[in-house]
Protein backbone atom coordinates (compact mmCIF):
# COMPACT_ATOMS: atom_id res chain seq x y z
CA UNK A 1 0.00 0.00 0.00
CA UNK A 2 1.50 3.35 -0.99
CA UNK A 3 1.18 6.40 1.21
CA UNK A 4 -0.14 9.59 -0.28
CA UNK A 5 1.75 12.71 0.69
CA UNK A 6 -0.31 15.77 1.46
CA UNK A 7 0.55 18.83 -0.61
CA UNK A 8 -0.02 22.25 0.98
CA UNK A 9 0.48 25.78 -0.30
CA UNK A 10 3.31 27.84 1.22
CA UNK A 11 1.57 30.60 3.23
CA UNK A 12 3.98 33.20 1.84
CA UNK A 13 4.44 32.46 -1.87
CA UNK A 14 1.76 29.78 -2.47
CA UNK A 15 4.32 27.26 -3.86
CA UNK A 16 3.44 23.59 -3.37
CA UNK A 17 5.05 21.99 -0.31
CA UNK A 18 5.06 18.28 0.47
CA UNK A 19 3.87 17.72 4.06
CA UNK A 20 6.44 15.18 5.21
CA UNK A 21 9.35 15.05 7.69
CA UNK A 22 11.87 15.77 4.93
CA UNK A 23 10.21 19.15 4.25
CA UNK A 24 12.42 21.08 6.62
CA UNK A 25 10.50 24.39 6.63
CA UNK A 26 6.93 23.13 6.34
CA UNK A 27 4.41 24.65 5.94
CA UNK A 28 6.80 27.06 4.19
CA UNK A 29 8.72 26.13 1.06
CA UNK A 30 12.01 27.69 2.22
CA UNK A 31 13.76 29.46 5.04
CA UNK A 32 13.26 32.72 3.14
CA UNK A 33 9.46 32.36 3.19
CA UNK A 34 9.57 31.33 6.86
CA UNK A 35 11.56 34.46 7.75
CA UNK A 36 9.28 36.73 5.72
CA UNK A 37 6.31 35.39 7.72
CA UNK A 38 8.17 35.82 11.02
CA UNK A 39 8.98 39.41 10.05
CA UNK A 40 5.30 40.09 9.36
CA UNK A 41 4.42 38.94 12.89
CA UNK A 42 7.34 40.90 14.42
CA UNK A 43 6.29 44.13 12.66
CA UNK A 44 2.69 43.53 13.78
CA UNK A 45 1.41 43.30 10.22
CA UNK A 46 -0.42 40.19 11.39
CA UNK A 47 -2.64 40.47 14.44
CA UNK A 48 -4.81 38.03 16.33
CA UNK A 49 -8.21 39.63 16.97
CA UNK A 50 -9.03 40.02 20.63
CA UNK A 51 -11.78 41.63 22.63
CA UNK A 52 -10.62 44.34 25.01
CA UNK A 53 -11.17 43.51 28.66
CA UNK A 54 -12.09 46.14 31.23
CA UNK A 55 -10.35 46.33 34.63
CA UNK A 56 -12.11 44.51 37.51
CA UNK A 57 -15.12 46.42 38.82
CA UNK A 58 -15.46 48.50 35.66
CA UNK A 59 -17.95 47.73 32.91
CA UNK A 60 -17.86 48.88 29.32
CA UNK A 61 -20.96 50.49 27.83
CA UNK A 62 -22.86 48.22 25.43
CA UNK A 63 -22.11 48.67 21.74
CA UNK A 64 -24.81 48.42 19.08
- Which residue ranges make up the annotated binding site? 10, 13, 29, 33
Write out the binding residues for Zn(2+): 10, 13, 29, 33
What beta strand segments (E) does 1-64 contain? 6-9, 16-19
Q: How far is it, in rounded angstroms, from Cα 10 to Cα 34?
A: 9
Q: How far is it, in rounded angstroms, from Cα 59 to Cα 22?
A: 52
Amino acid sequence: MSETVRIVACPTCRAEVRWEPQSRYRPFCSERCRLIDLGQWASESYKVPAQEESPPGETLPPTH
